[in-house]
């Protein structure tokens, strides 16, 4: 029996790539069944009146939840060279200590933070499969289910991406001792994805599969996993071309750059999401677009780790599909991700409003928001493309009295939200048409998070 329809009225809402006035939103079973701009007073009788402008919820398309436990703790130098690879060694100190209980506590707090910011679905790139000594848990889903419980507790949607990790680098025979927790096979990650999907049964949690990187997966396993994911219609994610050393190592091993090699070996399609793709050539991006695959850009982490700057105008100019992720969670704000994405282009190119010109539109904020919104469905395999019929009824209600928006002309609200820092948190967040009390969830999660960090870093 279908649930009773829910009706919401927004004085202004982001519909079809721009602001619309007097919008009546109708949801049934957590999805939009009608979106009606310009509704009359009679038509909106009985609808719940929303207290500010309405934006669709966004997908956070790349997360390593456990890394929230090291945010702010890797920002000191020993005087030696410091880059992604030295940061990775520090990150492993958390990866090799965190228990399932601590992971659940950290992830619950993180997911509440993401939801409070206006992210309503998170893609969890999950490779902590085994116990700290590298031995499998009695239940192979032990760590995966900790993340699922965290998502339920926070009220956020989750796309779990059990991640294949088999070797330490190109040509290596296996994993390093400090990577034993990551050990997996195509069969084990696919089994996790299928079991999570079976248990959750089409709710707010679904599953895909991830390949950690070309350096961590051999050719046979890559093809096996890709083919199984194709048959199961699962979204597929992979780290690729994030650091120059990875590119150089791939050329040495295969005689080709990472994306070039992937395009020839795995036949990526519209279910594929290439994370970072920081070091690319135009012809590689052209090949990704022609394959229909998407890019996941993580500006705050890419800046924090010194990865480099993604070729946004080259990708947007080819009408490429993309989304954003907060990755290592040095920030949990989608506004800051979009702001950093644009500002990194401005610093590199010494130009302004790069995204607007690349997307051939007037507003950089609109170009960035629409891009991030459009890529969410590809990243999750879920209908999360905004305030439109058939999409999940996820949205955030902005606070018109927030300092970043106070007195701003109506048509510039999104511009101010993205480019007038500090970021303004939404007044309310709804997932599948249900309001989540994000402040309460965050307050409830805080003691467990605090205890987990105390145990990890005492």
Helix, strand, coil percentages for the chain (3-state, nearest 5): 45, 20, 40
Nearest Cα residue to 276 out of 302, 245, 314: 302
Task: Give CA–CA dist 189/106, Å, rounded.
Answer: 23
Pairing mode, if any, of strands 236-240 and 209-211?
parallel
Is residue 276 part of the annotated active site? The answer reads yes
User: Tokens 């070091």 belong to which residue?
Assistant: 279
Is residue 218 part of the annotated active site? The answer reads no
Nearest Cα residue to 445 out of 182, 199, 210, 116: 116
Task: Give CA–CA dist 291/270, Å, rounded.
Answer: 7
Residues 6+ apart with CB under 8 A from 457: 73
Q: What are the structure tokens assigned to 371, written together?
A: 């891009």
Phi first, then psi, for residue 252 (nearest 5°) are -65, -40
**The one catalytic residue among 276, 307, 311, 399:** 276
Task: Name 27's bridge partners.
Answer: 6, 32
Task: Give CA–CA dist 22/337, Å, rounded.
Answer: 30
17, with CB counted inside 10 A (0-12, 13-18, 19+), is middle
**The one catalytic residue among 237, 279, 311, 327:** 327
What is the CB-side half-sphere exposure of residue 296 using CA atoms within 13 A? 31
Task: Give CA–CA dist 452/456, Å, rounded.
Answer: 6
Nearest Cα residue to 248 out of 257, 240, 260, 238: 257
Task: Give CA–CA dist 343/302, Å, rounded.
Answer: 13
Phi first, then psi, for residue 32 (nearest 5°) are -70, 130
Task: Name 275's bridge partners.
Answer: 239, 296
Task: Give CA–CA dist 335/354, Å, rounded.
Answer: 16
**Cβ count within 10 A of residue 258:** 26
Task: Give CA–CA dist 304/295, Å, rounded.
Answer: 19
Nearest Cα residue to 109 out of 457, 442, 458: 442
Nearest Cα residue to 56 out of 411, 381, 377: 377
Pairing mode, if any, of strands 294-297 and 428-431?
unpaired
As annotated, the active-site residues are: 276, 327
């Amino acid at each position: 029996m279908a649930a009773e329809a829910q009706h919401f009225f927004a004085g202004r809402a982001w519909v079809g790539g721009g602001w619309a006035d007097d919008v009546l939103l109708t949801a049934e079973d957590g999805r939009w069944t009608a979106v009606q701009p310009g509704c009359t007073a009679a038509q909106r009788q009985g609808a719940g009146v929303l207290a500010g402008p309405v934006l669709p919820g966004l997908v956070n398309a790349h997360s390593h939840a456990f890394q929230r436990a090291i945010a702010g703790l890797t920002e000191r130098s020993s005087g030696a060279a410091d880059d992604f690879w030295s940061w990775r060694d520090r990150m492993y100190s958390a990866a090799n200590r965190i228990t399932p209980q601590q992971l659940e506590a950290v992830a619950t707090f993180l997911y509440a933070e993401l939801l409070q910011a206006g992210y309503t679905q998170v893609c969890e790139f999950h490779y902590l499969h085994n116990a700290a000594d590298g031995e499998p848990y009695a239940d192979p889903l032990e760590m995966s289910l900790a993340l699922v419980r965290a998502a339920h507790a926070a009220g956020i949607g989750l796309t779990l991406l059990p991640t294949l990790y088999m070797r330490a680098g190109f040509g290596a025979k296996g994993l390093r001792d400090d990577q034993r927790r990551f050990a997996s096979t195509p069969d084990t990650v696919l089994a996790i994805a299928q079991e999570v999907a079976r248990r959750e049964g089409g709710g707010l949690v679904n599953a895909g599969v991830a390949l950690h990187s070309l350096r961590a997966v051999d050719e046979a396993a890559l093809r096996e996993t890709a083919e199984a994911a194709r048959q199961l219609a699962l979204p597929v994610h992979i780290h690729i071309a994030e650091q120059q050393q990875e590119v150089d190592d791939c050329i040495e091993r295969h005689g080709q750059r990472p994306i070039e090699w992937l395009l020839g070996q795995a036949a990526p399609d519209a279910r594929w999401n290439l994370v970072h793709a920081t070091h690319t050539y135009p012809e590689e991006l052209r090949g990704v677009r022609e394959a229909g695959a998407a890019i996941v850009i993580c500006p705050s982490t890419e800046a924090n780790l010194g990865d480099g700057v993604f070729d946004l105008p080259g990708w947007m100019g080819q009408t490429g599909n993309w989304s954003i992720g907060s990755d290592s969670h040095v920030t949990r704000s989608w506004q800051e991700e979009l702001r950093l994405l644009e500002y990194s282009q401005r610093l590199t190119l010494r130009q302004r409003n790069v995204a607007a010109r690349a997307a051939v539109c007037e507003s950089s904020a609109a170009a960035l928001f629409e891009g991030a919104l459009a890529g969410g469905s590809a990243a999750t395999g879920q209908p999360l493309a905004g305030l439109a019929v058939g999409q999940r009824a996820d949205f955030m209600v902005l606070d018109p009295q927030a300092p970043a928006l106070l007195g701003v002309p109506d048509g510039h609200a999104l511009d101010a939200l993205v480019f007038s820092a500090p970021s303004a948190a939404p007044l309310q967040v709804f997932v599948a048409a249900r309001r989540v009390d994000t402040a309460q969830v965050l307050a409830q999660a805080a003691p467990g998070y605090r205890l987990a960090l105390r145990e990890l870093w005492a």
